[in-house]
Structure 1
Amino acid sequence: MLAQAAKNAGLKPLVIDLFADLDTQGCAEDFRQVKSLAEQDLAPAVDCFIERYAVTHAIYGSGFECYPESLYYLNNRLTILGNHPDVFARQLDKPAFFSTLDQLNIPYPELVFSMPEYADDWLLKPMQGQGGTGIKRYHADDETKEPVYWQKFQAGTPHSVLFLADGQQMQVIGFNRQWPVCLSETQEFVFSGVVNRCDLSDVHKAVITDWLEQMVPAFRLKGLNSLDFIHADDCGYVLEINPRPSASMQLYDQDLLSRHIQACLGRNSVAYCAAWRDYHSAYQVVYADHDLTIPDRFEWPDWCMDLPKPGNMCRAGQPLCSIIAHQKNSRSVVEQLRTKQQLIISKLEGYDRHGIYSQR
């Protein structure tokens, strides 16, 4: 996503990525695939780009939620065009994050940081997570090895709002409706898709906008960020801030990456600028429902993105690819996503787990 956005903005992206998918390679001036975003894996790739291209700036995307210390390393080597590592880390410090919401009188679902006495309607959430991974319904016999917290399940419709900030001021880019997918008993609320429209009233949007106008200076947020929230019974409840460019940025016409860069450099780029498309756009992740080796010479449709390399093993529950659809209304665009997803699944059904095609 970021590689394509950088190329569209006239930049020459140098990409460090866990997957190095085919379209990322096609957009990149150069790329390095790494095993993880831990500093020991990241450092050789960063050193290579600095030595070969004299690169001075970096933009980061998802994945650092599990490796926040790596952002401090990046910040020592390069100028980060995004939230400072301290700002990023503060979003992962859930006691501090929700304490700030209390001070701002911004509502969120009830939560605790010690094991609840009863398991009724509690969710178990990792302190450091992204895209809903690791969130599950809590059972009294659950064992927890990683740092976690417990939050009451809040029924309602998941939403997000994409916004641009400069540390003090902000502009809403767009309100979105999201939906999760249950991949297993321990992955019950994984991010599945997003559409750049929602049914929130102007009054409700104004309330969320007011929250953001308080949260941006409180957390000193910069660049593109997104706020996840639940809407139910005419009320909104904050879930978390994603302090980095999110997948929903692909659903808007603007050159948002250039505006992200300008905002991070302290230049005036949060002044109002219309971002709506005249049609509805939606994005969805297609997850593998069984282990599958990506076949050689598999023909991906043009509307697929994040394409794995031939020969890659995609495990059940892992992202297989992503798809985008455009239509004149939300219902049609979501239906088109479902149709496209089924087409991908059907095309791959003839292949066994080793990527070998067999007639059935």
Structure 2
Amino acid sequence: MGEATAKPIDADSIETVLIVAGSGRMLAQAARKAGLKPLVIDLFADLDTQSYAEDFRQVKSLAEQDLAPAVDYFIDRYAVAHVIYGSGFEGCLESLYYLNSRLIILGNHPDVFTRQFDKQAFFSVLDQLNIPYPDVVFSAPDCAENWLVKPMQGQGGIGIKRYYANAADSSVYWQKFQTGTAHSVLFLADGQQVEIIGFNTQWPVRLSETQEFVFSGLVNNADLQDKHKTEIMGWLKQMVPVFQLKGLNSLDFVHAKDCSYVLEINPRLSASMQLYDDQDLLVRHIQASVGTTLFAQRLDSGWLKAPLQTGYQVIYAEHELIIPDYFEWPGWCMDLPKPGNMCRAGQPLCSIIAHQNNLQSVVEQLLTKQQFIINKLERF
């Protein structure tokens, strides 16, 4: 079957949308807020995902053979025509092409998504644009000191580890470890124009000796001078048309000693969109994807405004546990596993959110809430 290409889309005419992701809660919640009817395919079918979804299907993986029956079900039953994808496709690139053959994708085309994981080409583009990044090589370095091994098709820091010995593996590359603070910038694009939504600070969690860079949380606060934000805006203005990025995307970077270094582009909706829930970001994502959005040319004005600071964090299981029956999750918890679910050590338990007037208070509240949940589960 050929690609689902059609006449220009009227974003306002879309009522029902299929959401496919490793975890679909965030997008289902955003779709409900936008007045859409979300149909969800994901790996967990969390309690709150089910509450937001018009209908849902849980699948074993996002591989095409597991995805196809669920997609068929929703097309046959609801005649859904549009799909929004989230995280989880980094290791299932062929599945995006399958979705594109059945539905109209609202977001980056699979070719655009896939291009971000051709790391040699990606860093070559950065070289051409004179955009700095930590040193990268594609064969094992002779000296192991201060090198990281990274998967070509990684997500959320999973699989990144320190390099200790020679290895020959075409699915990884090597990047020099760069000290500094980890940041991301959430931005909206239509293939040519770009608008900054916000700059964020993020942090990893060390789950084991070989998993010490796993995404843990982020806050919509970045201790960056306006000159650095302006510089990164300039980089995005170059990268968006080169990569033909559309919709909401995020750029990860490290800042150290008055310099910023690009790590990667996440060519999909990311967790940071939850930090800006006072904006209709999913609506704007759809509009940008179909070319009907208006871009705010706000530079310094948007950065000087101090919004309520919001933090988001994933809580990981410290050891193997089973979610108890009748467990009462606080209202600030999200991605709620079903009773009886087995959570193994290092797997996500849930996620939490906090709102405060300053960065320190946000971080403290996240830590307090995390400990509350861990303690409460331990008592069962």
CA–CA separation in structure 1 for the residues paired with 2:92 and 2:49: 22
**TM-score normalized by structure 2?**
0.90
What are the residue-to-residue correspondences of 1:1-360 with 2, within 5 Å? Answer: 1-140=26-165, 147-252=171-276, 253-272=278-297, 278-350=307-379, 357=380
One-letter amino acid matched to 1:215:
M
Instruction: Work out whether residues 164 and 225 of structure 1, in 8 Å CA contact, stay in contact via their aligned partners in 2.
Output: yes
Deviation of the 1:145 alpha carbon:
5.5
Instruction: Work out whether residues 284 and 293 of structure 2, in 8 Å CA contact, stay in contact via their aligned partners in 1.
Output: no
Q: 1:102-127: per-residue Cα shift (whole Å, max 9, x none)?
A: 11000000010001111110000000
CA–CA separation in structure 2 for the residues paired with 1:316 and 1:92: 29
CA–CA separation in structure 2 for the residues paired with 1:345 and 1:116: 41
Deviation of the 1:269 alpha carbon:
3.1
CA–CA separation in structure 2 for the residues paired with 1:15 and 1:277: 34
CA–CA separation in structure 2 for the residues paired with 1:204 and 1:145: 36
Q: Which residue of 2 aligns with 1:354?
A: none
Instruction: Work out whether residues 126 and 146 of structure 1, in 8 Å CA contact, stay in contact via their aligned partners in 2.
Output: no
5+ residue gaps, structure 2, are: 1-25
Instruction: Work out whether residues 140 and 168 of structure 2, in 8 Å CA contact, stay in contact via their aligned partners in 1.
Output: no
Deviation of the 1:284 alpha carbon:
0.3
Instruction: Work out whether residues 123 and 136 of structure 1, in 8 Å CA contact, stay in contact via their aligned partners in 2.
Output: yes
Q: Which residue of 1 aligns with 2:21?
A: none
Q: 1:10-32: per-residue Cα shift (whole Å, max 9, x none)?
A: 00000000111110000000000
Q: Give percent identity, aligned residues only.
A: 75
> SS at the partner of 1:66?
coil
One-letter amino acid matched to 1:68:
L
Instruction: Work out whether residues 182 and 252 of structure 2, in 8 Å CA contact, stay in contact via their aligned partners in 1.
Output: yes
Aligned residues: 350
Q: 1:235-256: per-residue Cα shift (whole Å, max 9, x none)?
A: 0000000001111101111010
One-letter amino acid matched to 1:168:
Q
CA–CA separation in structure 2 for the residues paired with 1:19 and 1:145: 31
> SS at the partner of 2:85?
coil
One-letter amino acid matched to 2:264:
E
> SS at the partner of 1:237?
strand
Deviation of the 1:176 alpha carbon:
0.3
CA–CA separation in structure 2 for the residues paired with 1:220 and 1:146: 26
One-letter amino acid matched to 2:130:
N
CA–CA separation in structure 1 for the residues paired with 2:71 and 2:338: 23
CA–CA separation in structure 2 for the residues paired with 1:31 and 1:272: 38
> SS at the partner of 1:92?
coil
Deviation of the 1:146 alpha carbon:
6.5
CA 1:204–1:277: 2 relative to 1, 3 Å: closer
Instruction: Work out whether residues 139 and 168 of structure 2, in 8 Å CA contact, stay in contact via their aligned partners in 1.
Output: no
Deviation of the 1:188 alpha carbon:
1.1
What stretches of structure 1 move > 6 A for 4+ residues in a row? none
> SS at the partner of 1:309?
coil
CA–CA separation in structure 2 for the residues paired with 1:94 and 1:53: 39
CA–CA separation in structure 1 for the residues paired with 2:325 and 2:126: 50
CA–CA separation in structure 1 for the residues paired with 2:237 and 2:295: 12
Instruction: Work out whether residues 166 and 270 of structure 1, in 8 Å CA contact, stay in contact via their aligned partners in 2.
Output: no
CA–CA separation in structure 2 for the residues paired with 1:316 and 1:10: 37
Deviation of the 1:186 alpha carbon:
1.5
5+ residue gaps, structure 1, are: 351-356
CA–CA separation in structure 2 for the residues paired with 1:120 and 1:348: 40
Q: Which residue of 2 aligns with 1:353?
A: none
Instruction: Work out whether residues 126 and 148 of structure 1, in 8 Å CA contact, stay in contact via their aligned partners in 2.
Output: yes
CA–CA separation in structure 1 for the residues paired with 2:103 and 2:61: 19
Instruction: Work out whether residues 275 and 310 of structure 2, in 8 Å CA contact, stay in contact via their aligned partners in 1.
Output: yes
**TM-score normalized by structure 1?**
0.95
> SS at the partner of 1:239?
strand
> SS at the partner of 1:65?
coil
CA–CA separation in structure 2 for the residues paired with 1:312 and 1:113: 40
